[in-house]
Chain A
Amino acid sequence: MSADERRHVGINLGAADPMAHRDAERAAFGFWVFLMSDAVIFALLFATYGSMLSATAGGPTPAGSFKIGSAFAETLVLLSSSFTFGMASISMKYADRAERPAPLLAWLAATLILGLSFIGMELHDFVGLFREGAYPSRSGFLSAFFALVPLHGLHVLAGSLWLIVMMAQVAVFGCDARVKIDILRLGLFWHFLDIVWIAIFSVVYLQGLIR
């Protein structure tokens, strides 16, 4: 296989040295594998949640606890952040090594703001749940809820921290090969969290409406 064929379509490393193309291939594939491993963790927490749905121990039930309106708003915020990240990826793709493209930084900042808003809204929800007596030590059902959903939130928090680091790196290094590869991986991570959230919205919140 020639170096041209190995080039990663998403990041367009252009005239970067052949090693960078090779590294990009390994890095992207390795990160996909990591995401699949992480997906197993979420899958098991979903299974645990499913098996504990009825274990409410006389406490709050799914139908009684969840606010579908606010979960829907969170969904819109997170999906929008995937859009803004997509725009960031496009503005990165054609940036040169030394360039510090303003649109890239702006789209990353927009993603960060949306990510942090999502975390804020989710925390607000949690506080509301606690006030109504729906806290994790109340029942098996609430334990499962407060493992699955906050773990996704923790991932978003980690992604937000990563966004800040990448913005700093764009400012320091411009769009060198490593920055491009890392933003590519952050993009995969961010969109992965979106997919997990869609599953949470369907399995946890929508299903909650009918319980």
Chain B
Amino acid sequence: MSDVTAWHTLFGNLSAHSLPLVRAWQHPSVSEVIAAGAGLIAVIAAAALVALVTALGKWRYLWKEWLTSLDPKRIAIMYVIIAFVMLSRALIEGVLMRAQQAAAIRTTGFLSPDHFAQLFSTHGSIMVFFMAMPFIAGLINYVVPLQIGARDVAFPLLNSVSLYLTGGAAGLMMVSLVVGEFSTGGWSGYPPYTELAFSPGVGPDYWIWAVTLGSIASTLSGLNFLVTILKMRAPGMHLMRMPLFCWTSLCTAILMIFAMPPLTVATALLALDRYLGYHFFTNDLGGNMMNYANLFWLFGHPEVYILILPAFGVYSEVVSTFSSKELYGYTSLTLATAAIAVLSFTVWVHHFFTMGQSSDINGAFGIATMAIGVPTGVKIYDWIWTMFEGEVRFTVPMLYSLAFMVTFVLGGFSGIILAIPPLDFQVHNTVFLVAHFHDMLIPGVLYGLLAGYHYWFPKAFGFRLNERWGRVAFGCWVAGFYLAFMPLYVLGLSGMVRRTQEIFDPAFRPWLLIAFCGALLLLCALSCLVIQLWVSIRNRAQTRVFAGDPWDGRGLEWSLSAPPPDYAYAVTPQVASRDPFYDAKRRHAAYVRPTRYEDIDLPRDSAIGLIIGATAALAGFGLVWHIGWLVIAGVVGVVAAVIARSFARNIHRTVPAAEVERTEDRWLRAVAEALPVSRALETTGANQGLAKVTS
């Protein structure tokens, strides 16, 4: 065997040239240096993390308490950490793109076209699949079981598998920064451009396998959430008594189950084209790329609602809590949510009005698209009426909710323009579209996730987030958004094509400079969140809310200590109304010590999820670089782990009644000692997590 074939057997298509660092060394340019620097930062950050954990001697703790945990509350927190890490990367990429466009007016700027294309591809892929999706999975995992009075999700191990498949996929995205390159085909990866004929490199392969792992993880998450909500509600928690966040999670779960498979099919068929020479989407031998457009957007549009519905749920909780009022129009909100979920499957063609179907088809899909605005409008009115005559407090989550309502409606208006096919033809593929979907997704997803993060953070960690830094961050997010994206509406109407690395019209310069300033402000917003977390952790002694109810909450999740014990509920709650805990407090039926405690069965920790995620990601890496043995080892590893787990019988552990009693008594003592605070003092140090009940 010659050296070349030996190398290829062991390392596939990998070579020294695959490393951006080597490329930057050989052909130094600003663009290459930035690419190499990004890879270097990723490696250094990972190494620093390993060094830190080793220095603190926390590996055992990390392994036992976190990595192998099947507690949905811990899994949730790990999801949100993934989301924040990926948000940081993708946001920086967004700033780089804005900087490039502001700098590249009638000149080449500092990024090569190829590098710029990788940036918009990773930015979009990460924001959708590895920022929004994990954040949502995290929020649902934390909140939904607690809100329905359950101790766990329906399939705890599957939950961990989903987490690590998502983590493995996000890992592949990060590896693409260090080894090789990423796709230049955008987040939607349209063939034939992403076919072997036009993209012979490994970029699209990274995209395919990262997205495929992510989509499988989301399908499994959706299945888990659906069964949890339908089968594990506490006695008396009828569907129409569920908190609205549970309703939106339910609809999102259904969308995940039925809308993620089209994505899996689209990426799998593209992979068959690239790896085995199939002709699904090629230009020759009967391939038809329109099949891809249909498959992708059959996923892609419901995906928008997978992302937005949970945020709608968060807003419903936040607006009601911080107005101290029952949610207005509960039934209409559930119906609107369900209507949006159904309609989301009927509008996908509006993503490609210009791609050649008849005007009748375009007309039908345009009407369906506008119809979906109706239930969304219903929701906006419901939130406004909830605030009406309520005791509204402008806390950080409430500020995000208000900013959302204004900004999202604005995005909806531009959506109506895009839903009309003849108008869509005018602005198709311009930055008008970029402005529109950021105008939907930043308020409709990011603000919602951040509102939820601020709202439930005290529940998860036992102390409140710093209010002042939260406000500064909020100001930056909102001002940054308007500065960064309103100019794009103007530019789009003036005909500026999206995804351009070089701009030829000098008249665009002022708008691009404003947009760049906005992007910088968004970066400040993220930095403020980091500072806020740091300050909050440092001052946590003054903001502890162990009693568990800092906001005079309404749902069952607030009836537990903060943070809740791993078994969550010592005794299964009985539900008799829509706002069970809020009502219990008014009837003085909250914080009642049960007469006796019982042993509680919980799932035992397991490393199987971690093993499956890691081996699947290795198989993905092997596929990207055509390393046969690694692919086989990865796939065998996954199958072997599943089979081995099926033989495990000792999968439960018991929390003895005595331990439950100790934990609960400690908490009930703290509740008895805490001073109830009025709503006027809820953001001050006086708030120990016990609400003063007024009416």
State in angstroms the CA–CA spacing of A152 and B276 once bound together: 18
> Provided the pairs A52-B288, A55-B286, A146-B278 are in contact, do residues A37 and B258 lie with their beta carbons within 8 angstroms?
yes
State in angstroms the CA–CA spacing of A146 and B226 once bound together: 33
State in angstroms the CA–CA spacing of A59 and B646 once bound together: 46
Secondary structure at the A interface, as helix, strand, loop or mixed, is helix
In the complex, B391 has a CB within 8 A of chain A: no
> Provided the pairs A40-B262, A143-B278 are in contact, do residues A165 and B291 lie with their beta carbons within 8 angstroms?
no
User: Chain B contacts of A26 at CB under 8 A?
Assistant: 154-155, 227, 231-232
Q: Are B278 and A136 in contact (CB under 8 A)?
A: yes
Q: Are B649 and A30 in contact (CB under 8 A)?
A: no
Question: Chain B's nearest CB lies how many Å from the CB of A53?
Answer: 10
Question: Chain B's nearest CB lies how many Å from the CB of A85?
Answer: 19
Write the B104-129 contact mask toward A (1 if CB under 8 angstroms, else 0).
Answer: 00000000000000000000000000
Count how many chain A residues have C-beta atoms less than 8 Å from C-beta atoms of the other chain.
Answer: 39
Count A-B pairs with CB separation below 8 Å.
108
Write the B290-327 contact mask toward A (1 if CB under 8 angstroms, else 0).
Answer: 01000100100000000000000000000000000000
Q: Are A165 and B227 in contact (CB under 8 A)?
A: no
Query: Which of B295, B298, B647 interacts with A172 by CB under 8 Å?
Result: B647
Find the A residue at minimum CB distance from B219: A37
Residues 118-152 of A at the B interface (beta carbon under 8 Å): 136-141, 143-144, 146-147
User: Chain B contacts of A51 at CB under 8 A?
Assistant: 288, 291
User: Chain B contacts of A29 at CB under 8 A?
Assistant: 227, 230-231
Query: Which of A40, A57, A144, A173 interacts with B285 by CB under 8 Å?
Result: A57
Question: Chain A's nearest CB lies how many Å from the CB of B693?
Answer: 34
User: Chain B contacts of A73 at CB under 8 A?
Assistant: none
Question: Chain A's nearest CB lies how many Å from the CB of B478?
Answer: 38
Q: Are B257 and A30 in contact (CB under 8 A)?
A: no
Q: Are B649 and A178 in contact (CB under 8 A)?
A: yes
Question: Chain B's nearest CB lies how many Å from the CB of A27?
Answer: 8
Q: Are B226 and A139 in contact (CB under 8 A)?
A: no
Residue with the greatest number of chain B CB neighbours at <10 A, chosen from A19, A37, A147:
A37
Q: Are B286 and A30 in contact (CB under 8 A)?
A: no
Query: Which of B224, B227, B265, B288 interacts with A140 by CB under 8 Å?
Result: B288
User: Chain B contacts of A59 at CB under 8 A?
Assistant: 285
State in angstroms the CA–CA spacing of A169 and B647 once bound together: 7
Query: Which of B230, B285, B643 interacts with A139 by CB under 8 Å?
Result: B285
Find the B residue at minimum CB distance from A179: B646
Q: Are A140 and B601 in contact (CB under 8 A)?
A: no
Q: Are B262 and A44 in contact (CB under 8 A)?
A: yes
Q: Are B287 and A41 in contact (CB under 8 A)?
A: no
In the complex, A91 has a CB within 8 A of chain B: no
Q: Are A33 and B257 in contact (CB under 8 A)?
A: yes
Write the A35-66 contact mask toward B (1 if CB under 8 angstroms, else 0).
Answer: 01110110011001001100111010000000
> Provided the pairs A52-B291, A137-B277 are in contact, do residues A33 and B285 lie with their beta carbons within 8 angstroms?
no
Secondary structure at the B interface, as helix, strand, loop or mixed, is helix
State in angstroms the CA–CA spacing of A34 and B158 once bound together: 12
Query: Which of B258, B277, B279 interacts with A40 by CB under 8 Å?
Result: B258
Q: Are A37 and B261 in contact (CB under 8 A)?
A: yes
User: Chain B contacts of A25 at CB under 8 A?
Assistant: 231
In the complex, A96 has a CB within 8 A of chain B: no
Write the B591-609 contact mask toward A (1 if CB under 8 angstroms, else 0).
Answer: 0000000000100000000
Q: Are A140 and B279 in contact (CB under 8 A)?
A: yes
State in angstroms the CA–CA spacing of A30 and B268 once bound together: 24
State in angstroms the CA–CA spacing of A40 and B262 once bound together: 8
In the complex, B374 has a CB within 8 A of chain A: no
State in angstroms the CA–CA spacing of A26 and B223 once bound together: 11
State in angstroms the CA–CA spacing of A138 and B593 once bound together: 73
In the complex, B493 has a CB within 8 A of chain A: no
In the complex, B43 has a CB within 8 A of chain A: no
State in angstroms the CA–CA spacing of A136 and B272 once bound together: 10
In the complex, B264 has a CB within 8 A of chain A: yes
State in angstroms the CA–CA spacing of A36 and B227 once bound together: 13
Q: Are B280 and A36 in contact (CB under 8 A)?
A: no
User: Chain B contacts of A40 at CB under 8 A?
Assistant: 258, 261-262
Query: Which of A33, A44, A169 interacts with B226 by CB under 8 Å?
Result: A33
Write the A169-180 contact mask toward B (1 if CB under 8 angstroms, else 0).
Answer: 100110010100
Q: Are B269 and A48 in contact (CB under 8 A)?
A: yes
State in angstroms the CA–CA spacing of A165 and B639 once bound together: 11
Find the B residue at minimum CB distance from A22: B231
User: Chain B contacts of A161 at CB under 8 A?
Assistant: 639
Q: List 10 A-B contacts (CB under 8 A).
A: A25-B231, A26-B154, A26-B227, A30-B155, A48-B280, A137-B276, A140-B286, A143-B272, A143-B279, A146-B278
8 A-B pairs closest in CB distance: A140-B286, A55-B286, A137-B277, A143-B278, A40-B261, A57-B286, A57-B285, A30-B227
* A residues lining the B interface (CB < 8 Å): 19, 25-26, 29-30, 33-34, 36-38, 40-41, 44-45, 48, 51-52, 55-57, 59, 136-141, 143-144, 146-147, 161, 165, 169, 172-173, 176, 178, 182
* B residues lining the A interface (CB < 8 Å): 154-155, 219, 223-224, 226-227, 230-232, 257-258, 260-262, 264-265, 268-269, 272-273, 276-280, 284-288, 291, 295, 298, 601, 639, 643, 646-647, 649
